[in-house]
Amino acid sequence: MSHKLESLAKFFVTKSIHFDSVYASDLSRARITAEGICRRQPPKKDGGLVTPILTSDLRERDFGSWEGVRWQSSSAPSNDTNASPGRPSRSTSVVIEKETTVSMRQRAFSFLDSHFLPLLFDDSTSKRKVAIVAHGIILRVLWNCLVELFDPMSIFLMPGITAWDGGPAALLSPSWSNTGYMELSIRMKPSPSVSPPQRQLTSQELRVAPSSTTDTEVPPSSSPAGDILLQGWSMKILAVDNKEHLAGLRRTRGGIGSSSHDSRQKRIDQFFK
């Protein structure tokens, strides 16, 4: 376990942050991080151990033909074994395009619908602590999809969050450092007239939901108030890219950040077979 991961896992326990559920991408970097966090967690109330729930929905974006290629390379990978490193191939190769924003949003909504939302709807009065361990790009997409489920006026930021320079909290565009984490508090507003919705996200909703990413594959639009799935709920942003656990930690080489490419990362064409 890397020093950063060990510090993060200890930090959660020291702050009495005991997770009821830990979800993670099934790729090695996220899985190792989730396992390290769970290893330090105390047993659940029923005596069971906290273990990661792995899902391919949280995998990082598939970069197609560029998957596993070092960023220093100046040309796309080819099938020509005689080509010099960094030089284009003379032979014709099949170039697999990177995963689209639409595909990533479908995976993000699939995770929310299958795993996250049932926890909210099961008992809106219970206090659950949930950790989601994934990768930078898919986390940004997941955040955008989560925001779309709320009334924008029901999303708030705690004072002093340096990642935000003003404007509506719903427009926050977070980023994550290695082991940095975002902390959210989601609650149902105390109103007897609002009951938790029980419907699922439909495939049509996945297609037409507005995109908040830089890609323009999904045209931006605003959803009518009646279409807000978490109407009557609020979300408070408590921290963005929190690295408090790294204070005073001496930097060392190695760790999860230098892990090799995970060969189980699927190419985009495999998702549609």
Q: pLDDT tens across 131-150, in order? A: 999 999 999 999 999 999 99
Query: What is the percent of the chain with per-residue pLDDT over 90, rounded to a whole number?
Result: 50
Q: Are 242 and 184 in contact (CB under 8 A)?
A: no
Residues 77 and 187 in one domain: no
Name residue 131's beta-bridge partners: 22
Residue 190's pLDDT is: 77
More confident residue, 163 or 103: 103
Residues 83 and 186 in one domain: no
Order the strands of the 130-133 sheet from edge to edge: 52-55, 21-25, 130-133
Residues 81 and 160 in one domain: no
Residues 93 and 199 in one domain: no
Residues 73 and 83 in one domain: yes
Average pLDDT over residues 147-163: 88
Which CATH number goes with the domain that contains 220? 3.40.50
Residues 179 and 137 in one domain: yes
Residues 72 and 189 in one domain: no
User: Is a pLDDT exceeding 90 seen at residue 154?
Assistant: yes
More confident residue, 204 or 64: 64
Residues 174 and 199 in one domain: yes
Residue 238: name the closest of 190, 172, 177 by CA: 172
Residues 54 and 78 in one domain: no
Residues 47 and 178 in one domain: yes
Number of structural domains found in the chain: 2
Residue 238's pLDDT is: 95
Distance CA 227, CA 223 (A): 6
Residues 169 and 69 in one domain: no
Final residue before a domain boundary, out of 71, 97, 123: 97
From 7-21, 31-45, 121-135, 194-208, the region with the lowest mean pLDDT: 194-208
Q: Are 116 and 130 in contact (CB under 8 A)?
A: yes
More confident residue, 268 or 5: 5
Give the model confidence (pLDDT) of 226-261 as tens digits: 478 999 999 999 999 999 999 987 665 554 444 554
Residues 200 and 74 in one domain: no
Domain span at residue 168 reads 3-61+100-272
Residue 126's pLDDT is: 76
Count other C-beta atoms under 10 Å from residue 104's C-beta.
26
Final residue before a domain boundary, out of 74, 97, 120: 97
Kindly report the pTM of this predicted structure. 0.72
